[in-house]
């Protein structure tokens, strides 16, 4: 089947995304969502699916050259990733964290 | 060009949009502009670099924002700020260009004959246009992809401490294809082709920080204003002083020489009288030695010229007489269109000051706000 973001998915396969409060304006306060998982899902796939559900969110997290923004950190199953091509495990977890210090 | 003037005693309220490092507030003045009500915040925690109401419809309001974490976007209101939506496609450089918009810095409504048209200037220097009231933005290729762009701008690491900026986007009220814009750094540029091509317009402007003190480009204009009643007249507050250009002349005239030596001619903002082309206001700051960028000697003052910069008068009645070490950013000074013009500025220490008598006396209208980046009167 084809998921909302046009990604090939398997029925029942999902990726769990944990969301920080700083994106509440998009998510309505949801802290965790499940997205349909592609056959070999990547972080890019997950963010595309997330953007399909919450339009505009991806650009706030990833710049126009495909780089994760400087104070956004992404963890896949608790491991920090810096590349949108990083793979996700079906049934795995993507955690989005806002990391910033200063006044 | 016809200009509007608010009749004396009119009941029309004055709205000030106060864009700060931590959100957007509004200050609404009663008819006589004696009493002011503060409301907000909108977008608490967002860095709001500029918020502008569309003078063509009186209700479309755009705010350029980002947070410390999240990338830059534009928020839009179609009802003067009661409700907001985010731009569907905020300003962003072409994929593959290697450039990234760090923040949108400046917003300018388009020509009255082009409803829905807006321009945005970004950091690092980029020029963007919307034709749908700010919902979607596309790069102005005539500048962003210009073969000379990199030479004009320098590297993305050059420029002001929080990033080089494209600002002071000006649309000639007589001709929508005639544009000016300025960059810190880069200088002032002109297009007569609606942005399809650009050329430097910096003759006579000092650039004493460069090896060649009179280069074609590479200057640091802080704020450039066109006079709405005399659209051939431009004023410029620059890193190196004050200048005026009366087109079709190509060389700017230094108008900072008559400023007191103890105050100097350096500052960020400059605003013009809405009807009198000879009257303008500036807010000088200390640009000596290590550039403290505070009010000179801790004694803030506005300076006004009523003769296009030949002479200047200090206007400080009501402002702190000493030990006030704030300054005013380039978008944080504005005027209304009252019969007696109201002049306003917001400070880096979060105060809004206003004068309802063209700068003769000042009153603090709000305090305890975050660092103010921009102030616009409507």
Angle at B247 between CA B243 and CA B251, to 5 degrees: 50
Q: Looking at residue B1, what is its pLDDT?
A: 38
Q: Looking at residue A38, what is its pLDDT?
A: 79
| Residue A103, in any domain of the structure | no
Determine whether the interchain pair A63/B90 forms a contact, defined as Cβ–Cβ distance below 8 Å: no
pLDDT higher than threshold 60 for residue A1: no
| Nearest chain A residue to B73, by CA | A60
| Residue A1, in any domain of the structure | no
Q: State the nearest Cα–Cα gap between B87 and chain A, in angstroms.
A: 8
Coil, helix or strand at residue A52? helix
Q: Looking at residue B162, what is its pLDDT?
A: 83
User: pLDDT tens digits, chain B, 378 residues: what are they?
Assistant: 344 454 444 468 999 999 999 999 999 999 999 999 999 999 999 999 999 999 999 999 999 999 999 999 999 999 999 999 999 999 999 999 999 999 999 999 999 999 999 999 999 999 999 999 999 999 999 999 999 999 999 876 666 778 999 999 999 999 999 999 999 989 999 999 999 999 999 999 999 888 887 899 999 999 999 999 999 999 999 999 999 999 999 999 999 999 999 999 999 999 999 999 999 999 999 999 899 999 999 999 999 999 999 999 999 999 999 999 999 999 999 999 999 999 999 999 999 999 999 999 999 999 999 999 999 999
Q: Residue A23 maps to which CATH number?
A: 3.10.20.30
- Please state, as a whole number, how many other Cβ atoms lie within 10 Å of the Cβ of residue B88: 14
Q: Looking at residue B12, what is its pLDDT?
A: 81
| Residue A39, in any domain of the structure | yes
| Residue A2, in any domain of the structure | no
Long-range own/partner contacts, residues A20-26 (CB < 8 A, 24 or more apart): A20/A96, A20/A97, A20/A98, A22/A98, A22/B67, A22/B69, A22/B70, A23/A54, A23/A57, A23/A60, A23/A96, A23/B70, A26/A54, A26/A56, A26/A57, A26/A60
ipTM over 0.90: no
Q: Looking at residue B212, what is its pLDDT?
A: 87
- How far apart are the C-alpha atoms of B262 and B89, rounded to whole Å? 48
Q: Which site among A19, A65, A97 would you substitute to test the B interface, given the most B Cβ atoms closer than 10 Å to its Cβ?
A: A65
Of the candidates A60, A66, A102, the beta carbon closest to that of B71 is on A60
- Chain A residues with CB under 8 Å of B87 CB are 56
| Confidence grade of residue A12 (pLDDT, cut at 50, 70, 90) | low
| Residue A33, in any domain of the structure | yes
Determine whether the interchain pair B70/A22 forms a contact, defined as Cβ–Cβ distance below 8 Å: yes
| Residue A66, in any domain of the structure | yes
Task: Mark residue B43 as left, alpha or beta (left: phi above 0; alpha: psi -120 to 50; beta: remaining).
Answer: left
- Sign of the CA dihedral B135, B138, B142, B146? positive
Range of A87's domain? 9-98
For chain B, the residues whose C-beta falls within 8 A of a C-beta of chain A are 67-71, 73, 86-88, 90, 92-101
Distances (CA, A) of A90 to A9, A30, A73, A87: 10, 21, 20, 9
| Residue A3, in any domain of the structure | no
Burial of residue B58 (CB within 10 Å: 0-12, 13-18, 19+) is: exposed
Determine whether the interchain pair A59/B71 forms a contact, defined as Cβ–Cβ distance below 8 Å: yes
For chain A, the residues whose C-beta falls within 8 A of a C-beta of chain B are 22-23, 55-56, 59-67, 69, 71-72, 98-100, 102
Type and span of the H or E element at A58: helix A57-61
Residue B261 in contact with residue B271, Cβ under 8 Å? no
- Chain A residues with CB under 8 Å of B139 CB are none
Q: State the nearest Cα–Cα gap between A16 and chain B, in angstroms.
A: 21
| Confidence grade of residue A17 (pLDDT, cut at 50, 70, 90) | very high
* CA A90, chain centre distance (Å): 13
- How far apart are the C-alpha atoms of A47 and B196, rounded to whole Å? 35
Q: State the nearest Cα–Cα gap between B43 and chain A, in angstroms.
A: 10
Q: Which of A100, A94, A103 is nearest to A44 (CA)?
A: A94
| Residue A54, in any domain of the structure | yes
Q: How many domains does chain A have?
A: 1
Angle at B150 between CA A71 and CA A84, to 5 degrees: 30
Burial of residue B29 (CB within 10 Å: 0-12, 13-18, 19+) is: buried
């Amino acid at each position: 089947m084809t998921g909302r973001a046009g990604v090939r998915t398997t029925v029942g396969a999902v990726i769990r995304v944990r969301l920080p409060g700083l994106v509440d304006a998009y998510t309505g306060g949801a802290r965790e969502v499940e997205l349909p998982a592609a056959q070999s899902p990547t972080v890019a796939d997950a963010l595309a699916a997330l953007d399909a559900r919450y339009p505009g969110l991806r650009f706030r997290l990833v710049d126009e050259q495909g780089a994760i923004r400087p104070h956004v950190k992404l963890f896949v199953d608790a491991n920090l990733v810096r590349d949108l091509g990083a793979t996700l495990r079906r049934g795995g977890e993507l955690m989005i964290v806002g990391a910033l210090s200063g006044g | 060009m016809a200009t509007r003037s608010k009749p004396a005693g009119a009941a029309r309220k004055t709205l000030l949009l106060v864009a700060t490092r931590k959100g957007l507030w509004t200050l609404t003045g009663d008819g006589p502009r004696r009493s002011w009500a503060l409301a907000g915040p909108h977008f608490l925690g967002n860095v709001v670099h500029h918020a502008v109401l569309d003078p063509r419809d009186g209700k479309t309001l755009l705010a350029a924002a980002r947070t410390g974490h999240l990338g830059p976007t534009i928020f839009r209101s179609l009802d003067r700020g009661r409700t907001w939506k985010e731009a569907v496609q905020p300003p962003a450089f072409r994929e593959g260009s290697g450039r990234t918009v760090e923040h949108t810095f400046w917003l300018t409504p388009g020509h009255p004959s082009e409803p829905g048209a807006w321009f945005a200037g970004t950091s690092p220097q980029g020029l963007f246009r919307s034709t749908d009231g700010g919902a979607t933005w596309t790069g102005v290729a005539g500048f962003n992809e210009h073969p000379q762009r990199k030479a004009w701008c320098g590297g993305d690491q050059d420029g002001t401490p929080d990033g080089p900026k494209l600002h002071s986007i000006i649309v000639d009220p007589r001709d929508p294809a005639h544009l000016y814009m300025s960059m810190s750094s880069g200088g002032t540029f002109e297009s007569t082709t609606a942005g399809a091509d650009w050329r430097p317009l910096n003759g006579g402007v000092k650039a004493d920080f460069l090896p060649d003190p009179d280069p074609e480009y590479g200057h640091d204009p802080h704020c450039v204003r066109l006079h709405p009643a005399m659209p051939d007249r431009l004023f410029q507050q620059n890193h190196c002083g004050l200048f005026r250009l009366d087109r079709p002349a190509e060389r700017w005239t230094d108008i900072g020489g008559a400023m007191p030596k103890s105050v100097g001619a350096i500052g960020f903002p400059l605003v013009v009288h809405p009807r009198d082309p000879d009257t303008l206001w500036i807010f000088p700051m200390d640009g000596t030695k290590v550039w403290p960028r505070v009010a000179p000697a801790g004694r803030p003052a506005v300076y006004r010229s009523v003769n296009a910069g030949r002479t200047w008068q200090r206007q400080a009645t009501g402002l702190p007489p000493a030990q006030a070490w704030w300054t005013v950013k380039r978008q944080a000074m504005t005027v209304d269109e009252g019969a007696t013009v109201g002049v306003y500025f917001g400070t880096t220490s979060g105060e809004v000051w206003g004068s309802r008598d063209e700068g003769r006396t000042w009153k603090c209208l709000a305090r305890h706000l975050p660092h103010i980046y921009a102030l616009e009167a409507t």
